[in-house]
Structures are given as structure tokens and as C-alpha cells.
Amino acid sequence: MALPHITRIDRYLFRQLAAALIAITGGIVALTWLTQSLRFIELVVNRGLSLGVFFRLTGLLIPGFVEVILPITCFVAVQFIYQRLTGDRELTVMRAAGLSPYALSRPALLLIAIAVVIGYVLSLSIVPSTLTAFREYQWEIRNRIAAFLLQEGVFTPVADDLIVYVRARDPDGTLHGILVDDARQPNHHATILSESGRLLPGANSPRVLLVNGSRQELDTQTGRLNVLTFKENIIDLADTNRTDEQRLRDIGEFSLDELLHPAPGLINPREYPRMVVEAHKRLAGPLATLSFAGIALVFALTGTFRRHGGLWRPLLAILCVVALVALGLALDSAAVKENALVPLMYVRAVLPALVCAAYLFGPELRDAAWMRRAIAGPAT
């Protein structure tokens, strides 16, 4: 079957739809990134991390934002462009020129297909890998990197129960006037003073070599203060509550194969229902783009074209999409409790698109079939 001829109208509509989708998605992603990144400001303000580290850490969250909002922004772009064309009478002129609903929808259908492909690339490949990189980088920062970024004249909370103060720092890395408040052992709160020192990279965590200092330790059980002087002493600056732990992987980090066929001991068996739902959510999620955009096309291209337009059709389209989003959240939650409901996730993602396609293109297909039968004549 020959491919449909691409007209100037197709290119015109596709350019507007693509530009709107990029602009809307970029704006919402920027706003979402701004609100979500505020919770990482503490790493910059209190732990002295550079802005480069901050942007790298929060930038790893962006693919996840795009995956979540892409079906919705595709609906908004299609709805906005076709409603604007209606208000400018452009759609009226195109319909008067003989363009059918399918001809008017063709650029949108191409954009929707591209969005679905992008959604699958994100959900099956990019988002799990970036989430893994994000959590590993965050783990590394909280357990190792922060200790290397000690600032002069600043009390740096290396961990929740470990604070380090450095009076001066030489270009070669030598530290002067060091104070360490160590409350990692609840019954032995220690305050360590040292004339100088140097950071030493450890296999699993940073350490600091202290020279010519004293250690004052309060035994909370007896109330006795013990004072110990030393020539050299090495202390570990890692959070002892985390260093020996193995970082647990989140379900979102697993690949599709790991979710569907988990290795024994990979995760608590009670989490298997969640893994099944997560796997099918990745497979069904991008298909929701078809339904959301299909709703926009139906309400934009059908019905009476009023001269002054109207708000009830766009509002009804928005309500339909909101209802589908709410239904999707409810199904995800219910499917975790009962995996037999997983097929309904696909029904919710695809069925509205099929209904919209039948309503929008059905009459045109029936007319085309009737014309073919009429041309062929009665069977002999």
C-alpha cells in the first residue's frame, strides 16, 4: 500500500504541533525540576557541594519527569493547536476545501506515534538507568564526597551526628585548626581538637589524619570525661550508620526483564506484586498517549464549528483526561493488591483510543467501503 502523500498542510500542522509539544513539555519539566530540586539545596548550602554537582544530580531526574508528563502534554498540545486553528477559522477553511477528519488528524497521528516511541524508550531504558545513576550519585555524596569539601571557617555537617570545623586549608590540602564533634556512638560523645591534618582517601569512605591533638570523650553512663592526647590519629568521616550498608535498589531501577523474572533473593517476595505492576505500567503507560491525544482530536474536529467557538468542548475533553488519569492511579493501586487486575491497565490505556478512532474515522471508512462496493457493482 502506498504511503499517503505529505502535503504542505500536513507539514504546516505538524510544525505547529511539534513546536507546541516541545514548548509545553519543556516548560512543565522546568517548573517540575525547579520545585523538586529545592529539596537538594541543603547539599549545596550546608555541605558545600558545587553548583555543577547540584545540576548533575538534579538533571538525572529530568527523564523521569518527561516520561510522566509526556502523554498529558501531548494532549495539551493537540487540544491547544486545533482549538486555535478553529478560533482562527483555519480549520473551517480546510474543511471547506474538502479535507476529511483523517486528513486533518494525520499530522497529529504522526506526532502521537513519535511520542509513544519516545515514551517507550524512556520507560524501558533511559529512566531506569538515570534513576540508578541518581541514587548511586546521591549515595556517594552523602557518604563520601561531602567530607572532601570542607570549607574554611565553616562548621560542616558531614553526617547527621558528625560535624567538622577547619580554620584554614592550604593549597596542598593540609588542614589547620581542626575540630571534630563526633556523636556517632551515643554513649561516647567525643570532641577532637587537632593542630593540623590531611584528608586520606579510603577504600570505602574518606578518612582524616590528625596531628598533635587531643580527644575529649564523655561517657554518658558514668558522667566521666576522658581526655587523650595524641601525636597522630586517623578517624573515619563516613556515616557509620550507612557505610557498612549495601545500597538497596529501588524497584524503579530494575530492568523490565528483572521485574518480570526476578532472581531469587533479589527482593522481598512481598514486593513481587509491585514488581509485576511496575513492569506492566512501563508497557502500558506510553499507550495512554494514544487515548489522551485521541480525546483531544475528537473534541476538536467533531461537532458544529461555531463562529465564536466555545469552552464546553475543551473543558469536557479535559474532564475526560482527568478521569482517565484518576482511573489509572486507582488501577495501579488496586493491581498491586490483586495482580489479576493488570489487564485492565492495558484496557484503560488503549480502549479510549479505539473508541475515539471509531467515532472520528468510522463514518469516513464506511463511506469509502460503500463507494468501493458501488464501483465494483453487483457480484456475478
Reply yes or no on whether the pLDDT at 243 is more than 50: no
Q: Rounded to whole angstroms, how far apart are CA atoms 50 and 149?
A: 9
Residue 284's closest CA among 241, 239, 324?
324
**pLDDT tens-digit map of 246-291:** 566 788 888 888 888 887 766 777 888 899 999 999 999 999 999 9
- Please report which confidence band the pLDDT of residue 316 belongs to, taking 50, 70 and 90 as the band edges: very high
Average of per-residue pLDDT across 86-101: 84
Answer yes or no: is pLDDT of 238 > 90: no
Contact 14, 112 (CB under 8 A): no
Domain extent listing, the chain: 8-143+248-375, 152-237
The three-class DSSP label of residue 47 is coil
pLDDT band of 49, cuts 50, 70, 90: low
Q: Please, which pLDDT band fits residue 1 given cuts at 50, 70 and 90?
A: very low
Output the pTM of the full model.
0.75
C-beta atoms surrounding 182 within 10 Å: 22
**Alpha-carbon distance 247 to 135, whole Å?**
9
The alpha carbons of the chain give a radius of gyration, in whole angstroms, of: 30
